Amino acid sequence: MSKAIVMDPKDNVATVVQDIEQGTSVTVTVGDQTREVKVKQRIPFGHKFALSKISKGERVIKYGEVIGFATQPIEEGEHVHVHNVESVYTEEVIKERREKE
């Protein structure tokens, strides 16, 4: 059984289905490709890690949809959560992003 899942081939994060310890190599399937990512921190069950580098301000994509924006650079394998992502699900963030577009 895989330790993490990718919901949509457009995603740049994977969600772990069990706690993963720092340094663990995790095999994920993205579309029709399988790849391995070494996690850089402990990732708790239900949290996410980056499948590739995500630059500051770049969209964080899960379910094929934007769920937030990186507030700092995130390296491949790093924990992706509220400490480095600004959610698009808050009214304030949605309003600010619309004003910038």
pLDDT tens track for 63-81: 999 999 999 999 999 999 9
Tokens of 39: 């996690």
pTM of the prediction? 0.86
Q: Are 54 and 66 in contact (CB under 8 A)?
A: no
Backbone angles phi, psi at 86, to 5 degrees: -100, 115
CB-based burial of residue 59 (10 Å sphere; 0-12 exposed, 13-18 middle, 19+ buried)? middle
pLDDT tens track for 8-30: 999 999 999 999 999 999 999 99
Phi-psi region of 77 (alpha: psi -120 to 50; beta: other; left: phi over 0): left
**Domains of the chain, each with CATH number or no CATH:** 4-100 (2.30.130.110)
